[in-house]
Every structure is written in C-alpha cells, then in structure tokens.
Chain A
Amino acid sequence: MLFQGLLSLIAYLPLAGALLLLFFPKDAKKGIAYFATGVAALDFLISLPLFLQWDSSLAGFDERTIERLDWIPSIGVQYIFGVDGISMLFVMLTTLLGLIAVLSSWSAIKERVKEYYVFLLLLQTGMLGVFMALDLFLFYVFWEVMLVPMYFLIGIWGGSNKLYAAIKFFLYTLAGSVLMLLGILAVYFYYGARTGVYTFDIALLHTLGADPGFLALSKWVFWAFFIGFAIKVPMFPFHTWLPDAHTEAPTAGSVILAGVLLKMGTYGFVRFSLPMMPEATKLYAPWVLALSVIGIIYGALVAMVQRDWKKLVAYSSVSHLGFCMLGVFALNVNGINGGILQMLNHGLSTGALFLLVGIVYERRHTRMIAEFGGLSRQMPVFATIFMIITMSSIGLPVLNGFIGEFTILAGAFLIPPEVGISVLGWELGGKFWAVCGVTGIVLGAAYMLWLYQRTMFGPLDNPENQKLSDCSGREVLYLAPLVALCFWIGIYPKPLFNILDKPVAQIVQQLQGPAAPTGVAESLTPSRR
C-alpha cells in the first residue's frame, strides 16, 4: 500500500482539513471538533501502512515513498519528501499524538473553537513536513512554519501568562533557527563551490561527511546547527523557554510541544550533525555530553522543587531530553538507538503526563500540587494510569522508559575514555558521563514519586477534590493507546530495534569514517574471544 505521494498525502491532509474547517460556521463547535478529529484520525490511519509495511533491511530512504520535484531550480531548491526508519517512527509519533491532542481538546477548548482546530491541524502539517523533508531548504521552511500555529495556540488559548510565554517561545526558537539558516547556507555554498552543483538535497550534502576539506568549515557549521537544535531540544542552558511555554500552553499544545516539537532538535542532530559533520561531532562531543549530563541532573533537581504540577513535568522533560542527547552523542549504536527510542518514549510518557495534568486542570482549574492529595480514592482509574505512566517515566523495566534509558546508558558506558574535557585539572571523560547519567535513575524516581504521593496519596481533605469525577470514556480512550504502547515497547521493542538497525548502523559507519578500521572499536572492548 505504500505509494508515491503517500507522504505528501499524510503531510497535507491536516492542511486540507484546516482549510475546509474555515468554511464551518463559527458556532458549530461540536461539528468542528468532530471534523478535526476525523481528519486527525484519518491521517493516523493512512500513516499506519508506513509502519506496518516497513522494510527493515533499508538503511537509507524508502524509494517507494520518495517524492522529488523541482521547486526553485535557479538556486537548486527541490521539493523532496522521503522517510527512513528513523523519521518514519517520528512521523508515526506525530500522527498518533496529533490525533490524541485533538481528542483531548473536545472539552478543554470552549472559546474560538474553529481557529483552535485550524491551528492545531496546521501545526501537524508543519511537523510532518519537518520529519519528511529531505531538502534542507524545505526542511527550514517547515521548521519555521511550524512555529506560527504554536505561537497562536499558546498566545490565545494559554494560561494566565500566555503572551509572555508565546513570545518567548517564538523569539527564542527563531533566534536559534536564524543561526541554523546561516549554517545551512554555509553548507550550501561550500558544496556548490566544491562540486559546481548548488543543491539543498540532503542525500548529496551528507557526502560532505567524507570530505576532508569540509572539516575546517564544519567546525563552525556544527555550532550554528547546534544552537538551532539545542534550543529546540532544549539543552541546558537554552531551556528556559520550555517551562513557560509548557506551563502556559493548553493541554494539547503541551502534548504536541513535549511529544513532537522537542524531538525535532534531537532528530536534527541525528539527521544532520552526525552524518554531515562526523569529525566536528566527534571533536565537540565531550562538550555536548557535558551539557547533556548537566541537563539530566539539573532538570531533575529543579523539577524536584516545583509547586506547579505542569512545570514539574516540563522540567522533567529537560532531564529526559538530556538522556536522549547523552545517547546520541555517545556516538555508538546503543546510544543512538537508545536516544531515538527515548525520544519516542518521552513523547508517549510525557505526552500522557501532560494529558493527565490536563484532565485534572479541566476539573479543578488549578495545577498547584498543594491543592491536591488523596485523589486516588476519588479517581482510581486516573490513579492507575498515572501510576503506570509514572513508572514508565522513571524507567521501570517492562515499561518503555527502561528500554530507552538502559540502552542509552549501555552506549554511554562504551564512550571511550579519551572523550573528555578537563576541568580544574580533572580529566572528565568516558565513564564519568555514564555515571553522571545513571544518577538520573535516582533523581527521576525522587521527583516523580513525590509528585505522585502529594497528589494521589494521603487523606482526601480538600473539599473541592471530594467531588472530582474519574476519567471519562473519552479520556480513557486517548490515554489507553499510550499506556499500551508503553508496555509494548517495554516488553517487545524488537520491531523498533529492527527498524532502527540499519539506518543507525549507517550513521555509526559514517562517524567511524572510511579510514578508521573496526579495530579501533575492538580495542575499547577488550575481551570478546
């Protein structure tokens, strides 16, 4: 069932839906919600074959789905859509979370309903475009386009401090992407000057990875891309837009923000920095690792003392994404596989956490942790789901978080000892990053279990909480797939590993470089007779 044009269909269906929504009368709130849900559901359904019929033996992009058109021939801009195993998984994540986000908005959004769903659907097209674009220019266009609907979602339907958060989000990410644009142009002109072909085609630009002449320039380009991606991830110290944006955004916005938008940063590293600039990546990996590890610990520490339920979850994202970055910059199969899986896992479990906060917020109109307590008595179904997601978030085995964390750490423990930086005469490297990463295991448990205890356990003494109703059927319906996926990835992640196998191996090969024989790696792992 895979055919040319499927990707465009998936990407633009939400856009078409948004355009049709414009013709709806403003007051047909139910109709608007149903229609948007239908569009999102259809989008998810037509994206399913991508996953179900995926050919795991593919290392590169699936030729069955690649679409290529000339767009601005004079400067070599093409319209290229295509997915490999890595981006396919993110496309699936986006269509799934997109559907769930729409479903979760039915009762949450009462004002300006039409515009809301239009923006939500536009956002989806933007995100899908980012994961599908195989032309750097096109990628950049989608990368920027996506900001606009998100800006409005936060700015119009957000909480009390929404304008501040929306503008901060927009400007901060925009600042990063301008630097990224510089990087893109540098790559474009270098490649054009070198080969005479001016193009933004990612497949061609990736060949720069093997070009020794690119090394000097790539040292600058790496940081240009880094700033762009690191703000999106967000990595410490570029993260402060996130708690505000997350906290102020409406539930669906937070879900999409945490579930998909943050992944674009990490995805960018995997897709562009690693294969295109392997030498610069290896050179600067220690610094990125240091920031990742700081992010893991720092995010967790700050999460610990938050009084706002949603802000706590937001800071936990900083910590979790630090894990993803630790994995990616371990620069071996375990780390990158784990990093990518953990991005998916974070999308599922943190997405679910935001949904759960949203459910309570809708009923109580507060997110202050101190307002709650003993809810498990009043909301047993909610408490059970929350418990499962909490356990997933802190990496309990048999749930998805463990698979991601454990493979990331397995990768981190394989970081060669010489990958380090020296601080005040101390050589920090190799195992140091790994051991710092492991502390995340304790810290995550600490803040999540404390949150759980303060909200769910204890006496149910706040009279306002004594009338709370448990999850409705619709709420269970949109949480159930997330819970099921958490278990599935935890117990049987094999299909995902198979999908990631070849593409990730290819990236690692590119990182090894043509000159480095396998012997180098063997010497790091002494004895496997």
Chain B
Amino acid sequence: MSDFLWLIPLCPALGFLVNGLIGRKLSKRAVSAVACGVVLLSFLLSVAAVAQLAAMPAGERVMENRALTWIPRVDSGGGPPGLALDWLYVLDPLSAVMILVVTGVGFLIHVYSIGYMWEEQGYWRYFTYLNLFMAMMLTLVLGGSFAVMFVGWEGVGLCSYLLIGYYHTRTDCADAGRKAFITNRIGDLAFVAGTLTLFALFGTLEFRPILAAVASGEGPYWVLAAVGLALFVGACGKSAQIPLYVWLPDAMAGPTPVSALIHAATMVTAGVYMVCRLAPLYLAAPVALTVVAIVGAATALFAATIGIAQNDIKKVLAYSTVSQLGYMFVAAGVGAFGAAVFHLTTHAFFKALLFLGSGAVIHALHHEQDMMKMGGLKAKLPVTHAVFLCGWAAIAGVPLTSGFFSKDEILWKSFLWSPLLWASAAATAVITAFYMTRLMGLTFWGRSRMDHHAEAHVHEVPGVMKWPLIILAALALLGGFLSVPPALGGDLMPFTLEGWLHPVFTPATYAASGHHGAHGGDAGHAGEEHGGHHGAAAEYGLMLLASTLAVLTMWLGWRLYDRHPEKAAAWKERFAGIHGVLKNKYWVDELYDAVVIRSFYSLCRAAHVLDVRVVDGVVHLVRNVTVGTSYLSVFWDTWVVDGLVNLTGRTVRAGSGVLRRLQTGLAQSYASAMVLGLFLLICVYMYMS
C-alpha cells in the first residue's frame, strides 16, 4: 500500500501548476488557499504514510513506490550496462522524519507568508515558487535513487535561485540568486562525479542496492572514500559548509519566510540528509567521515564567530544557520547520524521560528533589518518577543528546550570521538549563546534607537502570522522530548527519534536485506550505544558544563546589551581589530572575488582572445595564403602564361607581316609562282628517282 507516495510531492506540484498558469488572474485569497491547501494535503498524506510505516516491524520499515519508468533499461549491445532510472520513491524512517518536518514546518511558513507577502507585487509568483519548492524538496527526501534525489536537489536549487532573486529589479538580489545557484553547481559537479562513479562501480543509482553492496564489503576502499568526499563536496554546496558557504548569507536578500523555509529549515539541510542517507557508505570509508567531522566543526566555529559582529538581523541568523549545519555535520562525521537528524529537526523548529520572528520584526519596522536601528521592541511587540525568547532559549541550549537535547547529544558523541572536537563544538555553543543574546538585546531590549517616524508605525503581527509563530515556539521548546538521550532516561520513553532512525544507519540492515531478507535489524544497536552506559558520569559532567557555560554567557550578554550597552561599546572599541575582522567576515568574499572570480574571468578573456587571434587567425591565415597564392597565379598567368601566348601571337604576327607581302592579289604573279613551284617539284622528283 505504498503506491501513493508519489502523491506527496505531486500535491504541491499541482499547486505550482495552478498558481503558475492562472495565478495572475486569481484573487490573493484564492492563490493563498490553493498554495496552503496543497501543502496541508501533502502533510496529511505524509502523516498517513508515516503511520503505515510505523505499523511495520522495526528493521523492515521500507515502503517503495515505483511511480514511472524514467529511463528504461536498454540493450547494452555487449558493452557496459545501460543507465536505467525509475521515478522511485522510498519511505523509510529517515525520509519519514524529513517529510514530516518539510510538510509540517513548510505548511506553517506558507500560512505565515500570506500575511508577510500580502502587500508585495507578484504575490501569486511567490506562492508558485514556494509550492514548486515544496514539490522539489519532497522529491529530494523521498527519492529512492541518486537520480531522483538529484531532481529534487537541483529543483530546490532553482527555487532558491528564483526566490532569492524575488525582488529581481534589485541588482543585489539578482546577484545573490546567481551566486547561490553557481556555488551550488560547483558542489553539484562533485556530486554528479561521485554519483556516476558509483554507477560505474555498481551499475545502478538506487540507494538500497548500492548501500547493500557497500554494507557487505564490496567496492574498493579508496574509490568509496573518494566518492564519499565528492558527495560531501556536493553537500557542502547545498548545506553551506566551508569552502562553499558564501552564498547563504547573501541569500538573505530573499523574502524572510523564504529564508526560514529554504535557507534554514529545509533545503540547506539536504546535504546533512544525504550524508545520513548514505551512512553505510561513509561507515565503509571512515576517512571521508573524518573529513566531514572536521569540516563541520571548523565551519561551526568559523561561522559562529562571524555572527558576533553582524548588525543585520538576518545576517546573524544566516551565519548561525551555517554554524548549526556545521554542528549537524560534526554529528554525522562522528557516526552519530541519529543525532544529526535530531538536531536537523530541532533546528528546523527553532531556526524557522527565529527567522519568522525576525520577519515579524522586519515587517513591523517596514523592512528595516539593521539592528542598530532597533532596540526596545519588547514593549511594542510582546508576542514576537515572547516567541523569540523561546527560540533564543532553544538555540542557546537552555536545559529542557529542544536545542539542549540535540546539541548535548552531539557534544557527547563528539567527545567520545575526540575531546578536541568536543572543545571546538562547546566553544561554538558558547559563542552561539552570546551572539543570540546580542541579537535579542539589540533588537528587543535596551533603549530604542529607531527614528520617531518609524517608531510611530511599529505594529504587532496579524493573526495569520502570529499562530505559526506560536506553534513553532511550542515545538522549539518541547521538540527535544522527541529524543531524550539514554542518560536522561531516554530508555524509559516510549519513543525516541534515534531509536526510530537506528535501522537506517546500520549497515547490517542493508546487508541483510541485500542477501537473505530481513533479520537482525538491531544487530549493530548494542555496539554503538556503548558510550551511553560507559561514561554516564562523564556525560552528566559535560552536559552540566556546557549548559552552565551557555546560561552564563546568556546572562553576561543580557547584562551587556540590556543593562550596560555602553560596556558593549567599550568592548567593541577595545577589540576593534578582531571586531573588524569578524564584521568583514574574514574578507572571504573579497578573497574569492579577487582570486577565483577574477582569475576565472581572465581565463575567459584569454580564451576569447585565443579564439579570435589564434584559432580564427589560422583560418584567416589560410584564407590569406590562398588569396595571396591566387594573386601570384594571376601574376604568373598575366606575365608568364599569357606572356607566352602573347609572344606566340606576336611572333606569328611578325611572321605574317612578312608573308603578307606575298599576297599581291595579281593573277599573273600567282600563276608565275605556281609555274615556278611546279618546275621545282618536277626537278626534285627527277633528282630523287
């Protein structure tokens, strides 16, 4: 009964078609009803599908739906196998989590957008793109093969491009959209290379056969490692990791709900999702996994430091997203795929909340995003402030909020891997707490820095924007209970997300299904949990340490930005050098511009000059030689060949001048000449004989 899976992405696709084709003529109400309706429908279908999945025994939870043959299997003519692709959708515990997050959070953001975008031009266009995005994101997470996933992967990239450039008459928006697309494409280059290497190796692009083969030890180690790295480069593009993170902060040029949906909650997590989806592949090539962990940790720390010194409220959140995605990669990199997906989920809740909250602020202030022109909004925007508090607590890791559980899980797993990694991740957590507190302080607390005109028009959000915020706030606070870690009594809970996901990340599951049908889905379970009971004391200690540090930092930040803003200014003065570096984002954009973009453009110019001067130059040379030769031959023809002819002519002419004298026209002279001739002939004749 899995043959309705394809309907889940189809619903928003239909919304896309309806709004895309006739949206221009529909009323705003109708457009919103269509757009939100199809996403709600998709959500309900997802719930139904996941309920079915949950009813299956653990370890066998897979639903496949081959909707259509895409590229048929062809006769290979004795050569290597032909590429055969199906529109294959697969629901397993991992994609189940993803579709619920995507459709659930997606629906809330759709509803919120009604209020946020109401006044904008091209309202229908916005919802058309947004629906297309949902369809593509669902294709990405439900895709059962690299090819179908790639459809979604590229599709969300397209929507991101279109939505970042939504205000396309502004040059910066159009630039940002293009930057996002091309940076992503650089990642895709590696993604495609990795994918097709797997195809060359295993003759298929479907996940399950590939993972089954890998899980049972097939495939040369270094090729798998190279594939793992190549795919991770693809993930770096989509999930904004070093060195391809630069597009995400610029992507904030798009409408704020888009930032919440695409650039925080869903699309940017696609890279994390892919790495988790391919867990057995990465476990077979641990060296690739190590790189994932290191890049993740570095990105997390790096982006967090930039977040300290940004004044644009969305830019702070953007760098925070980059940083949190780094966190997820740390989790995946240390093999804690469950923790990665758990953090992905809680992050979707609290970051969507924070972005939508910032959208509420921006909406209230008529598109003001500079925090230096905010302050003291607590009184004017009580609801927004309240939900923001929830998001703030969650991302900073205040105990019992969602972020606390998921972050703690990652910290603990990374500690088991290497204390150094833990230290880096913990430092990131502290910095995160700090810059988020700074954001709260500059925006909501302290004194107002708005001009009077703006201040007079500040207004709280309408209901259609308020309710999504409140629901997300609740999820941000309570979402952590989805997966309470064993050390805090998770074993006693009826459901933990990590337990639910566990079979997906266990190679034995695939190896088993690949060979002799399902048995032993829990084979690797005991082995991986060893840390949980081993060092419970250490885990409590670290948990306490991290939480204390976070809360202390929040308190410090609150003192600084609410009570003593002058001290904050003084600190800024004191560390002006560092502040400058952070404020300018380590000049990475400038560096890329100077090194990569410029040299690329020079290369293009050089190729162009080469084409005109050399390649075409040779053609012109051939032409000139030919034309030159023909001039030569004209010369030859006129003076030599024709000269000879003329010479002949002149000779004949000269000769004929002599002979002409003979032609006198007198019969007597002809007759005498004839007689003379006859006489001569007779003489000759007689002499001869």
Tell me, yes or no, whether B78 is within 8 Å of chain A by CB.
yes
- A410, B186: Cβ atoms closer than 8 Å: no
Give the distance in Å from the alpha carbon of A237 to the alpha carbon of B611 in the complex. 9
Give the distance in Å from the alpha carbon of A223 to the alpha carbon of B178 in the complex. 42
- A450, B178: Cβ atoms closer than 8 Å: yes
Tell me, yes or no, whether B472 is within 8 Å of chain A by CB.
no
Interface size class of B (residues with CB under 8 A): 35 or more
Map CB proximity to B onto A217-246 as digits: 1 under 8 Å, 0 otherwise: 000000000000000000011011100000
| A376 vs chain B, min Cβ distance (A) | 7
Give the distance in Å from the alpha carbon of A501 to the alpha carbon of B603 in the complex. 41
What's the A-B contact tally at a CB cutoff of 8 Å? 189
Tell me, yes or no, whether A363 is within 8 Å of chain B by CB.
no
| A347 vs chain B, min Cβ distance (A) | 20
Tell me, yes or no, whether B202 is within 8 Å of chain A by CB.
yes
Tell me, yes or no, whether A99 is within 8 Å of chain B by CB.
no
Given contacts A458-B171, A524-B80, contact A302 B200 (CB under 8 A): no
Chain-A contact segment, one of B150-158, B459-467, B660-668: B150-158
- A494, B70: Cβ atoms closer than 8 Å: yes
Which residues of B sit under 8 angstroms from A504, Cβ to Cβ? 74, 77
- B83, A410: Cβ atoms closer than 8 Å: yes
Which residues of A sit under 8 angstroms from B672, Cβ to Cβ? none
Tell me, yes or no, whether A334 is within 8 Å of chain B by CB.
yes
Map CB proximity to A onto B611-628 as digits: 1 under 8 Å, 0 otherwise: 100011011000100000
Give the distance in Å from the alpha carbon of A128 to the alpha carbon of B227 in the complex. 45
Which residues of A sit under 8 angstroms from B82, Cβ to Cβ? 333-334, 337
Give the distance in Å from the alpha carbon of A241 to the alpha carbon of B616 in the complex. 8
- A435, B193: Cβ atoms closer than 8 Å: yes
Tell me, yes or no, whether B69 is within 8 Å of chain A by CB.
yes
Tell me, yes or no, whether A472 is within 8 Å of chain B by CB.
no
Give the distance in Å from the alpha carbon of A171 to the alpha carbon of B619 in the complex. 11
Which residues of B sit under 8 angstroms from A414, Cβ to Cβ? 79-80, 200
- B185, A508: Cβ atoms closer than 8 Å: no
Which residues of B sit under 8 angstroms from A516, Cβ to Cβ? 78
Give the distance in Å from the alpha carbon of A288 to the alpha carbon of B76 in the complex. 22
Report the nearest B residue to A377, measured CB to CB: B169
Give the distance in Å from the alpha carbon of A449 to the alpha carbon of B615 in the complex. 27
Map CB proximity to A onto B74-100 as digits: 1 under 8 Å, 0 otherwise: 111111111100000000000000000
| B146 vs chain A, min Cβ distance (A) | 10
Tell me, yes or no, whether A457 is within 8 Å of chain B by CB.
yes
- A518, B608: Cβ atoms closer than 8 Å: no
Which residues of B sit under 8 angstroms from A93, Cβ to Cβ? none
Contact among B169, B174, B186, B608 for A305, CB-based, below 8 A: B608
Given contacts A435-B193, A528-B203, contact A509 B77 (CB under 8 A): yes
- B181, A449: Cβ atoms closer than 8 Å: yes
Chain-B contact segment, one of A16-24, A187-195, A348-356, A439-447: A439-447
Query: How many A residues face the partner with a CB closer than 8 A?
Result: 79
Give the distance in Å from the alpha carbon of A450 to the alpha carbon of B175 in the complex. 9
Give the distance in Å from the alpha carbon of A447 to the alpha carbon of B196 in the complex. 25
Map CB proximity to B onto A492-523 as digits: 1 under 8 Å, 0 otherwise: 11100110111011111101100010100100
Which residues of A sit under 8 angstroms from B83, Cβ to Cβ? 334, 406-407, 410-411
Give the distance in Å from the alpha carbon of A231 to the alpha carbon of B659 in the complex. 62
Which residues of A sit under 8 angstroms from B165, Cβ to Cβ? 453, 457
- A391, B71: Cβ atoms closer than 8 Å: no
- A304, B604: Cβ atoms closer than 8 Å: yes
- B189, A438: Cβ atoms closer than 8 Å: yes
Which residues of A sit under 8 angstroms from B161, Cβ to Cβ? 449
Tell me, yes or no, whether A290 is within 8 Å of chain B by CB.
no
Give the distance in Å from the alpha carbon of A451 to the alpha carbon of B179 in the complex. 14
Report the nearest B residue to A493, measured CB to CB: B71
Q: Which residues of A, 400-452, contact B by the 8 Å Cβ criterion? A: 402-403, 406-407, 409-414, 431, 434-435, 438-439, 441-442, 445-446, 449-450
Could you show 9 A-B contacts with beta carbons less than 8 Å apart? A305-B601, A337-B82, A446-B182, A457-B171, A492-B68, A498-B72, A501-B75, A512-B79, A521-B78
Q: A491-B70, A525-B200 are in contact. List 13 more A-B contacts (CB 8 A).
A: A304-B604, A305-B607, A398-B151, A409-B196, A410-B196, A411-B83, A412-B196, A413-B199, A435-B193, A449-B182, A453-B175, A498-B72, A526-B201
